[in-house]
Amino acid sequence: MRRQSEHLDDYRAGLARLAAADLVYPCFCTRRDILAEIAAAAGAPHGPDGPLYPGTCRALDAATRAARIAAGESWALRLDAERARRQVGSLEWTDLDAGIVPARPEPFGDVVLARKDTPTSYHLSVAVDDAIQGVTLVTRGEDLRPATHVHRLLQALLGLATPVYRFHRLLTDATGRRLAKRDRAETLRALREAGRSPAEVRTLLEA
C-alpha cells in the first residue's frame, strides 16, 4: 500500500515543476478574507466546491510573496488555472460509460495544490499517485466525477499518463444520506456481525 506521508518528495517534485513553469503562486488569504471579497463582488461565480477564489493574490510580485513567506504568514499554493489551460490547450479523458469527455477544469478556478503545513492536496496526490503506480483504470464514486477535470489538467502539466475512469453511484442510507466513514456509517463487517446475510446486504445495496 502506498502511503502518501512516505512519498512527500514526489509531490514536492510535481510542485517544483509547476513552479518552474510559473503556474503556481502563494495565496495568503484566509477563508474569511476570501468570503469577504466574494460578498463584496455581486454575482461571484460558483464552482463544484462553492464560490470561486477571486484571485486576490495572483498578481502579487515576487518580492512581496517572498517577504510574506519569510515573515511566517500562512499560505496556500494555488494553480494559476487560466495560464495552465493556455499552456496545454484542449484536453479530454475517457469515461467507460460516457465515452470521451472534454476536460473543463475552469469551474474549479485556481485550486489549492498544497499549503504551508500540508505539502500536497487531494488533486495533486491522486494525479501523481496514479501515474507512479501505473494505474490504468480508476473507479470512483459519482461525487468525484467533476474533480477528474482538474486531475486531467494536472496530468497534462506534469507529463503524466491518463488512466481510464469509471464512476459508480453512491451508497446511501434509508434517508438518502451518503454512507461514509467520516459519518460512522455501518460497514460490511458491522452488517455481518449483526447477522445480516449476503442476500440481505445485496438488497440493501440495490435499494
- For the record, the C-alpha cell of 105 comes out as 477544469
Q: How far is CA 181 from CA 171, 172, 186, in A?
A: 12, 12, 8
pLDDT single digits (tens) 66-112 = 999 999 999 999 999 999 999 999 999 999 999 999 999 999 999 99
The pLDDT, as a whole number, for residue 14 is 97
pLDDT single digits (tens) 1-46 = 778 878 899 999 999 999 999 999 999 999 888 888 877 766 566 6
Provide CATH 3.40.50.620 ranges for the chain: 4-170
- Number of Cβ atoms within 10 Å of the Cβ of 7: 16
For CA atoms 95, 101, 103, 109, give the dihedral sign: negative
Confidence of residue 205 (pLDDT cuts 50, 70, 90): low
Superfamily of domain 4-170: HUPs (3.40.50.620)
Q: Measure CA 136 to chain center.
A: 19
Query: What mean pLDDT value characterizes the chain?
Result: 87
Rounded Cα distance between 56 and 183, Å, is 34
pTM (2 d.p.): 0.82
Q: How far is CA 34 from CA 38, 39, 66, 113, in A?
A: 6, 9, 21, 17
The pLDDT, as a whole number, for residue 124 is 97
